[in-house]
């Protein structure tokens, strides 16, 4: 019995579609990157500036995953200094549609959540 190949492992590891997809997308940075790319193509450093507080390593790593999963494409122009452009694929765009609903929800209910948080705090500190 031979060991599984890396790709076979990846396929078998996650039997639940929702977990498989959301484990990747729900990781603090993926979503922000996809949103940043929604208006159009951006280069690596432009993405860094756009997002603001992501480290190079995480941006690099997350972009690789998003490319791997087919959400974005990476185009390297062999110039000096090198130019690398990241663009949403149709899959990436289609993902943002249901995402917009979530973003709208967040916008609408943000105040409610902040209020709940404050209520909880005061309830804990002076019981």
Decide which of a copy of itself, DNA, none touches 38; Cβ closer than 5 to 8 Å per partner kind: none
101 binds DNA (CB under 7 A): no
Residue tagged 């860094």 (tokens): 48
List all residues 6 or more positions away from 37 whose beta carbon is below 8 Å from its beta carbon.
Answer: 47, 72, 86, 87, 88, 92
- Which residues are 75's β-sheet partners? 85
* Interactions with DNA, residue window 66-85 (CB under 7 A): 74, 80-85
**Spatial separation of the C-alpha atoms in residues 26 and 97, rounded to whole Å:** 16
Spatial contact of 66 and 30, defined as CB atoms under 8 Å apart = yes
* Interactions with DNA, residue window 3-62 (CB under 7 A): 27-29, 43-46, 53-58, 60-61
Binding string, residues 35-74; x marks residues near a copy of itself by CB under 8 A: x-------------------------------xxxx----
The end-to-end CA distance of the chain, in Å, is: 61
Binding string, residues 84-123; x marks residues near a copy of itself by CB under 8 A: -------x--xx-xxx-xxxxxxx-xx-xxxxxxx-xxx-
Binding site for DNA (CB under 7 A): 27-29, 43-46, 53-58, 60-61, 63, 74, 80-85
């Amino acid at each position: 019995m031979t060991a599984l190949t890396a790709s076979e492992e990846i396929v078998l590891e996650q039997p639940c579609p929702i977990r498989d997809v959301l484990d990747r997308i729900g990781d603090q940075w993926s979503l922000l990157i996809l949103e940043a790319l929604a208006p159009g193509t951006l280069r690596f450093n432009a993405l860094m500036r756009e997002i603001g507080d992501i480290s190079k390593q995480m941006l690099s790593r997350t972009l690789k995953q998003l490319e791997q999963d087919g959400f974005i494409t990476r185009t390297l122009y062999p110039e000096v200094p090198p130019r690398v452009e990241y663009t949403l694929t149709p899959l990436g765009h289609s993902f943002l549609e249901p995402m917009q609903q979530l973003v709208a929800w967040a916008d609408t209910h943000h105040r409610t959540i902040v209020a709940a948080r404050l209520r909880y705090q005061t309830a804990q500190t002076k019981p």
